[in-house]
Structure 1
């Protein structure tokens, strides 16, 4: 007779995501995950196979919850210059707060795990593409509305802005002073002319 699952995988996944986000992949032990989720090692392995499987599921969960909530504004049909400025400014404000010092799970993964893990690297690349295409669409709308000059290179700027988002996460994770983060955001948004 099959045993019934005694935990909610979605709740456990959310808790695991937060541990990986705070500690990183390599510094997170299975014991950390058991403690945070309240689920035994065998329960977690029964659903996710191993720590790596749980980590990849946590990255997907991060994309659909945290990233989906924040970056979806760039993918709205009427997104334009204001949407970009608000999005980047919000990220900068978060990065400057003590709670923002954990950075971004996907960008943290880009430097910690992706160089050694093809699946994680693919997820990071998908995130970068998601950001770039959102920025590019909003920039094209801004050009069409006359908010930016007709010769504005939307693709080039979109790639730059995706890099800005990645750098903001690195600044936050390295505990840069709020002034540094504010200045970085201000100069970066100054390219939108």
Structure 2
């Protein structure tokens, strides 16, 4: 009969996710994760096999517990311009917080790890695709309701907004400052203003 685990796997995964989020994949050692979680490497490997397996689980956890809840208002069937504006307002709020300089784990991983790991690249693509689809639906709704100009192509603008959300976190990670981030978001949202 197997012994019950002496640690909470979900809480351990959250702590490991924070290590990867703050330090990056390549700059995080198993010793760093052991120190942060209080779980031995054998305990970690019993569940996740190795550091890479733990990182993939951390990306999935980030997606489910951080990204999806933040994007949820934009994914509502009747979402429109207000939800897009609110989403970028939430990004600005988090980017301005003291811990905002760690950016977004998915965005960080897009440049750090995805070029070298197809499973990470697939998770990053899923993150981007779901953001793009949510923005596109909301833009279609906004155009139908007359909230944005008829000249805005929802598919093209959804690509733009997906890039803009990633840029917010790149700026936050680079310590660009909250004024630069606020200006970036203001100009991004101004592209949705009705002309004339």
Contact persistence 1:15–1:36 (CA under 8 A): yes
Between the two proteins, the alignment pairs up a number of residues equal to 193
TM-aligned CA deviation for residue 162 of structure 1: 0.4
TM-aligned CA deviation for residue 98 of structure 1: 2.4
Contact persistence 2:149–2:192 (CA under 8 A): no
CA RMSD, 1 decimal:
1.0
Contact persistence 1:97–1:178 (CA under 8 A): no
Asked if 1:27 corresponds to 2:27, the answer is yes
Contact persistence 2:15–2:36 (CA under 8 A): yes
TM-aligned CA deviation for residue 154 of structure 1: 0.4
1:52-78 Cα offsets, whole Å, 9 max, x none, are: 000000000000000111011111112
> In structure 2, what is the Cα distance between the partners aligned to 1:28 and 1:107?
17
Question: Hey, what does 1:97 align to over in structure 2?
Answer: 97
> In structure 1, what is the Cα distance between the partners aligned to 2:94 and 2:176?
12
> In structure 2, what is the Cα distance between the partners aligned to 1:90 and 1:26?
29
Question: Hey, what does 1:43 align to over in structure 2?
Answer: 43
> In structure 2, what is the Cα distance between the partners aligned to 1:66 and 1:2?
33
> In structure 2, what is the Cα distance between the partners aligned to 1:173 and 1:11?
25
Question: Hey, what does 1:131 align to over in structure 2?
Answer: 131
Contact persistence 1:80–1:138 (CA under 8 A): yes
TM-score between the two structures when normalised by the length of structure 1: 0.97
Question: Hey, what does 2:171 align to over in structure 1?
Answer: 171
TM-aligned CA deviation for residue 93 of structure 1: 2.5
Question: Hey, what does 1:190 align to over in structure 2?
Answer: 190
Contact persistence 2:79–2:138 (CA under 8 A): yes
Question: Hey, what does 1:152 align to over in structure 2?
Answer: 152
TM-score between the two structures when normalised by the length of structure 2: 0.96
> In structure 1, what is the Cα distance between the partners aligned to 2:151 and 2:112?
38
For structure 1, the 5+ residue unaligned runs are none
TM-aligned CA deviation for residue 152 of structure 1: 2.0
> Which deviates further from its counterpart, 68-77 or 120-129?
68-77
Q: Residue 55 of structure 1 aligns to a residue in which SS?
A: helix
Question: Hey, what does 1:15 align to over in structure 2?
Answer: 15
Q: Residue 175 of structure 1 aligns to a residue in which SS?
A: coil
1:146-169 Cα offsets, whole Å, 9 max, x none, are: 112233200111000000010011
TM-aligned CA deviation for residue 188 of structure 1: 0.7
1:4-34 Cα offsets, whole Å, 9 max, x none, are: 2211111100111111101100111101111
